[in-house]
Structure 1
């Protein structure tokens, strides 16, 4: 039985693999600053993506994307703004998008991935 932290780490690894398979280059994983954290920052197709990953073992607590509340979205936006401020070149080169990847780990080798592009 996976603990919450292990489940999150596994979910983020699955999300990274999914993004790479779609042609994105991972720039940051678990980017932290004093304003908060963004799970994955990646780029590709003239886009800079800020991705929140939510992983569940079942739907008992609802879909992962339901946990990305307006308050959480605001926090992610503030961290993204800080990230862009620190690297001003990035913000002028690409379009920005906020995505959510919701993962349900049904069994050890079976996962369902829902990638919500432009989630907020």
Structure 2
């Protein structure tokens, strides 16, 4: 497995651990459909939360959240709709993003709620 893939998987697991620590229930990981993949689907109270995880080994090429462009946000909205269509109606839906920077200074996790 390539170093980039290992870093990505590690970042997703750190994001899952963070969400659990914050009281979220993890419903699904790496859900795929023809339009793409949702990294994490979780529940916070009665709200279903689609979570995009971006992981970097440092910030030399920018902060991970900079990779979440308007085009990416539109795709996340479509994927969230596809997930809801496949799993039935939800009470409330939100899209969050988690940035994981695993650099020499340690691990930093930033959770941004309702990015889209």
TM-score w.r.t. length of structure 1:
0.90
Secondary structure, aligned partner of 2:61: coil
Q: Distance in 1 between matches of 2:106 and 2:25?
A: 24
Tell me the equivalent position of 2:35.
35
Tell me the equivalent position of 1:114.
110
Tell me the equivalent position of 2:52.
52
For structure 1, list consecutive stretches of 5 or more residues without a partner in the other structure: none
Instruction: Report deviation, 1:73.
Output: 1.1
For residues 1-120 of structure 1, the aligned pairs below 5 Å read 3-89=3-89, 91=90, 94-107=91-104, 110-120=106-116
Q: Distance in 2 between matches of 1:119 and 1:87?
A: 22
Q: Deviations over 1:21-42 (max 9, x none)?
A: 1111111111100011110000
Secondary structure, aligned partner of 1:39: strand
TM-score w.r.t. length of structure 2:
0.93
Secondary structure, aligned partner of 2:59: coil
Secondary structure, aligned partner of 1:10: helix
Q: Distance in 2 between matches of 1:45 and 1:70?
A: 28
**Number of residue pairs aligned between Structure 1 and Structure 2:** 115
Secondary structure, aligned partner of 2:58: coil
For structure 2, list consecutive stretches of 5 or more residues without a partner in the other structure: none
